[in-house]
Amino acid sequence: MLGEATADAAIASARQFARDGKIVVVPLTSAANASTLGKVLEMPTLSTPEATVKDYALLAQIDFRHPLFSAFADPRFSDFAKIHWWKYRRLDTSALTGAQVLAQFDNGDPAVLQVPLGKGSVVIFTSSWRPSDSQLALSSKFVPLLQALLEQSSSLPPQKAQYFIGDEVPLPAGPQPLTVRKPDGQEVNLASGSKFTGTDQPGIYAITPGTQRFVVNLPPDESRLAPFSTERLLALGVPLRTAHETPAETARREGQAQAVEIENQQKLWRWLIVAALGVLLLETLFAGKLSRTASGSTIAST
């Protein structure tokens, strides 16, 4: 982890550390910290000016599929709205080749991003967890976040905390084939060490032989309860009345609703008239048939 005024020797060591397949964390504690980040990425002209923050910023977009945030993917733990960010530095991601934005502030500026470097990468926080910058260090999410960083930088393959519909699940290697039992009881036979792609149902999946289990959940988007916009409601035909509606607009809206109701009633009367005409036509045909039958009987008797 690199901060301000880091010696060139330490920066060179960190850069080699990333190239060897590890992760280097660079929190931007000030605009001057751009020089340290620029030396690590070998971009001497990189700049990170201070962002203008009114009151505080919040994390609005988070990639919960990334191993750094996968532990918070469950809707019970995915709320970062209580963490306020007082200061952060702006970073132009277009200048960073292969940069992946893992979290964004509510105005769209990147908050956490990962830049590949050799076999490893550099994880950049555009703010820091110092009390003058944010409330991250006071949050219960701080320790799991650091743990995820350590796990990513270790030699162990990343382990996902949970899976979502459509994800591929790597199966353990072994001498014999495996069977995956889906939540509905269907069983799928696969070779050991392969990937299971049939995660089309939420629930608990079991791998046999053995006792390994994994859980597949619905995507986090399914639990979002954000209200529809006014434009969307109007497009669906939902009548709305805003607090700023004038009496003339109210009268016009009510007149339109009344006109629609009258038109619907007229449509109903049209069908009733058609039905009455149909009944009248049937009666006429039936009466004509009876009249011809009666006339024929009279002639025969004569």
Q: What is the pLDDT of residue 20?
A: 85
**Cα 131–Cα 132–Cα 133 angle in degrees, nearest 5:** 90
The CATH number of domain 8-153, selected from 3.40.50.2000, 3.40.50.880, 3.50.50.60, 3.40.50.720: 3.40.50.880
Domain range list for the chain: 8-153, 163-221
Mean pLDDT, consecutive 10-residue segments, the chain of 302 residues?
A: 69 87 87 84 86 91 88 85 92 88 92 90 91 91 86 59 82 83 91 87 87 82 70 71 65 73 68 82 81 65 56
- Amino acid at site 20: D
Q: What is the pLDDT of residue 183?
A: 92
Determine the Cα–Cα distance for residues 173 and 178; give it in Å rounded to an integer: 9
Radius of gyration of the chain (CA): 34
Determine the Cα–Cα distance for residues 46 and 39; give it in Å rounded to an integer: 9
Q: What is the pLDDT of residue 109?
A: 93
Q: What is the pLDDT of residue 227?
A: 75
Q: What is the pLDDT of residue 161?
A: 56
pTM exceeds 0.85: no
Q: What is the pLDDT of residue 301?
A: 57
Q: What is the pLDDT of residue 156?
A: 46
Q: What is the pLDDT of residue 289?
A: 77
Residue 156 in 3-state DSSP? Answer: coil
Q: What is the pLDDT of residue 104?
A: 93
Q: What is the pLDDT of residue 35?
A: 84
Please provide residue 16's backbone torsions phi and psi, each rounded to the nearest 5 degrees. -70, -35
